[in-house]
Amino acid sequence: MIMQTQYDEKKHALVIQIEGRFDFSCHKAFKDAYSSVESNCKFELDMTKVTYVDSSALGMLLLLRDYAGGDQGEIVLSHCNDAVEKILRIANFDRLFSLH
């Protein structure tokens, strides 16, 4: 798992790029990535290179959502492959996050 963060000035958002498996082994790195900015920040998770998502990853997404202000937070999950998007939709995460 590789995780990189970058603040995108155009989008006014913290972009977190995840590569490989998004599972419990990412927990600390993921929390460190989003907690490095204020909670009212916009977030984009670039899922282009994510190969696997498990239930702990779904839990981590919910923790990010809480950190970002719940319903008032702006979180985009971008570039999900078909398998990852299917899991997110089955879990009804398309109602909690913007999928692009």
Confidence band, pLDDT 50/70/90 cuts, at residue 36: confident
**Predicted confidence (pLDDT) per residue in 86-95, tens digit:** 999 999 999 9
pLDDT confidence of residue 11: 84
The set of residues, in sequence order, having a beta carbon less than 8 Å from that of 48 and lying 6+ positions away, is: 17, 78, 79
**Predicted confidence (pLDDT) per residue in 46-71, tens digit:** 999 999 999 999 999 999 999 999 99
CATH number of the domain to which 57 belongs: 3.30.750.24
**Number of folded domains that form the chain:** 1
Domain residues for the domain of 77 are 2-99
The larger pLDDT score, comparing residue 37 to residue 21, is at 21
Cα dist from 27 to 1, 40, 66, 75, 84, whole Å? 11, 21, 15, 18, 18
Cα(77)–Cα(84) distance, integer angstroms = 10
